[in-house]
Structure 1
């Protein structure tokens, strides 16, 4: 499950719906959540419900980091971001920490590797959502074996990563997280009022959400898709329960 925009709710605003989303996600078998300090309150609004539900240590949390520092090689800003994230999530270790949108990745990837060795994080990766910008550098980093995870945009509409990035990830056994599998809900507008294809039930799909997700996660290189929602009913639809 992703949290971009959907989990950015201030503490003085109603947040009961997010608690319901978290509960439905957990009860339906969901275990992996993607957050970022750039998503405002997403870390808080995942961390607090997780603590209430008693599932903090059972979730696989993918976080992001966007840090440059005051000078080349300054890692103080990055360290503050990491400490803030762990506090908000009530964690002493992040499962996967990703360089957000490739920002300062030449310095950040080696730093994340150090944090991995120190036990602050389990895995490291990079993210992006704009194919023309990320295809070449991301492919290079994957092929060099520097990444445990890569997060990319992929959907039944946007298939560019099938050409180089997904094959490279499969060759290197790099885990792949997929953002925007619904193209920010635009795919549902395209099929509004249209019935599912007749073969959809044969592949286990009962609605368009499952159909679009099935396309993404059926690729052998894909580890997990992370659709975002504030609607508990949509969580149930996505997970098929």
Structure 2
């Protein structure tokens, strides 16, 4: 049976303008970093994309190296779009990135013009798209001049291969330069993507306020610390978890007793709020007015549904925030 999106999908989601732009993004976006590659269940991946869209999630976040194998998340997403979303392209915000290792040789994994230009063409081919809504420089590589990378992004927009551009994980000095170069060319940085969660708060010092000052939207990845801020690790390491499988970047030695104990105490706060730990952790990230959206990953429709329920309660009392801060400082 042909997929028919939920007729009331947009009433289920909250949206926020991205920085100083006129583009609305869902408060919760779906990332395809894990669970959408060639080693994963294509049927489950399809069901998650459908459920997300039925729930008003319009933004799907990719990168050229997402998989495994690298590139396979884009291929699978392209297949899902072709099989189920014909006629709905204009209701979707699809982003991809380039800059991390993708192919062999000296040009396959940096922030050079050579890499970005080749990467976006490859990514468009894999997904079957004519353009990306957002295309990011995935990182500052420490070598390529920011001017070179930003000029590539500017030209990508002018060539019609992307509508907007963004930066990801740029240190503050290079981020400020990027914002200024893009703005002066009439292609302002739409959005800045950084790791941010209760356990990873480095962006609060400079990157988050800088983005807001420069008119860029802000989107957080790994808001659940790759599962550490869920119920998954409260009682040890589950057999099929990311830490047990040693996939991605979460390793067994990162599931420390200190973080587990903090998660247990945070879970007590969440229970009193009528939320799961994951829901509260997402709500905590979204409480900041400068935060446009959070990118969640999911391995099942059930997990995705839990994450989306975070929107049911985004408000915190001063007492709750103080208690959370006390736990995080332990």
TM-score when normalising by structure 1: 0.83
Structure 1 residue runs of 5 or longer lacking an equivalent are none
Whether 1:7 and 2:36 are equivalent positions in the alignment is: yes
2:81 to 50, 54, 59: 50
Q: How does 1:211-226 map to 2 (within 5 A)?
A: 211-226=280-295
Give the corresponding residue for 2:160.
119
Spell out, residue by residue over 1:27-79, the C-alpha distance to the aligned partner (whole angstroms, 9 max, x if none).
Answer: 11111111111112111122211222214442211100128749xx9745433
- Secondary structure of 2:226's match? coil
Say if 2:99 and 2:115, in contact at 8 Å, map to a contact too.
no
Q: Deviations over 1:163-195 (max 9, x none)?
A: 111111111210112111011111223335943
Structure showing greater relative contact order (alpha-carbon pairs closer than 8 Å, 6 or more residues apart): 1
Asked whether the 8 Å contact 2:134–2:163 carries over to 1, the reply is yes
Name 2:225's counterpart in structure 1.
Answer: 183
- SS at structure 2 position matched to 1:195: helix
Consecutive unaligned residues in structure 2, runs of 5 or more: 1-29, 101-105, 234-259, 313-330
Shift of 1:151: 0.7
Q: What CA distance in whole angstroms lies between the structure 1 residues aligned with 2:303 and 2:137? A: 29
Paired residue for 1:107? 148
| Cα gap change, 1:43 to 1:56, in 2 (>3 Å) | farther
Match of 2:26 in 1: none
Distance 1:75 1:28, change over 3 A: same
The residue aligned with 1:232 is 301
Q: Distance in 1 between matches of 2:160 and 2:44?
A: 34
SS of residue matched to 2:31: coil
Contact 2:131 2:162 in 1 (8 A): yes
